[in-house]
């Protein structure tokens, strides 16, 4: 799950725009500056769009069962077993998560269908299995893959069935911080709710074998999935925050 970006930059930008509008005599100089900064912004947005497109491509390819081994280094910087203290935190959150998934709406969203369908893995059983079988590990960092941006957590491992790298949920450094890498402030939830959201979000990726996709803010984006989990599992109706 991606880490929410800091808000400071946006408000600085607004302030500097207002300052430009208010001043008089040095207008042409300012206009030039505004134009330059708009150009810069446009280039920046293009770069982001391109990056997002490439990331999605990369995800699609990575999730292709045959390509997974070659395209994504499975253990680029190494995730490790949870420390006893981390394990305590994770087990506490998992207990809450399993409780929430007793609710059918929540469970069927996480596992993407009813468990009466033989193709569907029961998400409660899956989480219990992961917890018991070193399927939840720790990554001491924030950037899980080179250039992928900061994240709270990820899923790792291949789904090729060769057992070289078993699928697992990997909370990173942010997960264990007080504000869970700003997830608390982003969704206006408390620390345990934020950690629950992270675990359920990654569990859904693990069980459904599908990545976040689609345009940012859409139902299939990372935020869209998180919003649905907050609603169906935690009973919280939220807007996707504007970045
Ligand atoms: Zn995600």
Q: What is the pTM of this model?
A: 0.71
Q: How remote is the CA of residue 132 from the centroid of ligand 1, in Å?
A: 23
Q: Which two tokens stand for residue 203?
A: 């569990």
Average pLDDT over residues 205-216: 92
Span from the CA of 88 to the centroid of ligand 1 (angstroms): 24
Distance 32 CA to ligand 1 centre (A): 41
Tell me which of 50-59, 84-93, 197-206, 223-232 is least confident.
50-59
DSSP string, the chain: -BPPPPSHHHHHHHHHHHHHHH--TTHHHHHHHHHHHHHHHHHHHHHHHHHHHHHHHHHHHHHSTTTHHHHS-SSSS--EEPPHHHHHHHHHHHHHHHHHTTSHHHHHHHHTS-TTSTTSPPHHHHHHHHHHTT-BEEBSSSBSSTTS-BBSEEEES--SSSSSS--EEEEBGGGGSTTTTTHHHHHT--HHHHHHHHHHHHHHHHHH-----SSTTSTTSHHHHHHHHHHHTT----PPPP-
Ligand 1 centroid vs 23 CA: distance in angstroms?
45
How far, in Å, is the centroid of ligand 1 from the Cα of 1? 5
What confidence tier does 164 reach under pLDDT thresholds 50, 70, 90? Answer: low
Question: What is the whole-number distance in angstroms between the Cα of residue 161 and the centre of ligand 1?
Answer: 22
Tens digit of each residue's pLDDT (9 = 90 or more) over 177-190: 999 999 999 999 99
Q: Give me ligand 1 centre to Cα 118, in Å.
A: 25
CB 96, CB 200: distance < 8 Å: no
Give ion ligand 1 contacts, CB < 5 A: 212, 222
CA of 21 to the centre of ligand 1 (A): 40
**What's the mean pLDDT in 13-29?**
49
d(CA 82, CA 90): 9
Q: How far does the centroid of ligand 1 lie from the alpha carbon of residue 212, in Å? A: 5
Distance 70 CA to ligand 1 centre (A): 22
């Amino acid at each position: 799950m991606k880490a929410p970006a800091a808000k400071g930059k946006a408000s600085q930008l607004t302030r500097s725009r207002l300052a430009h509008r208010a001043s008089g005599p040095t207008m042409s100089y300012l206009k030039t500056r505004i134009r330059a900064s708009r150009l810069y912004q446009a280039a920046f947005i293009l770069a982001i769009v391109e990056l997002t497109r490439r990331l999605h491509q990369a995800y699609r390819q990575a999730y292709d069962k045959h390509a997974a081994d070659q395209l994504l280094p499975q253990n680029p910087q190494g995730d490790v077993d949870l420390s006893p203290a981390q394990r305590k935190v994770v087990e506490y959150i998992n207990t809450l998560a399993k409780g929430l998934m007793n609710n059918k709406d929540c469970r069927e969203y996480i596992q993407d269908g009813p468990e009466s369908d033989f193709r569907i893995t029961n998400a409660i059983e899956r989480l219990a299995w992961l917890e018991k079988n070193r399927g939840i590990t720790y990554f001491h960092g924030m950037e899980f893959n080179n250039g992928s941006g900061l994240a709270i957590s990820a899923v790792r491992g291949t789904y090729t069935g060769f057992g070289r790298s078993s699928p697992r949920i990997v909370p990173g450094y942010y997960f264990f911080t007080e504000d869970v890498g700003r997830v608390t402030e982003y969704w206006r939830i408390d620390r345990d709710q934020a950690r629950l959201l992270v675990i359920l979000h990654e569990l859904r990726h693990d069980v459904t074998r599908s990545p976040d996709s689609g345009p940012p803010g859409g139902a299939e984006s990372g935020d869209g999935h998180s919003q649905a989990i907050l609603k169906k599992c935690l009973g919280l109706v939220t807007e996707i925050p504007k970045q």
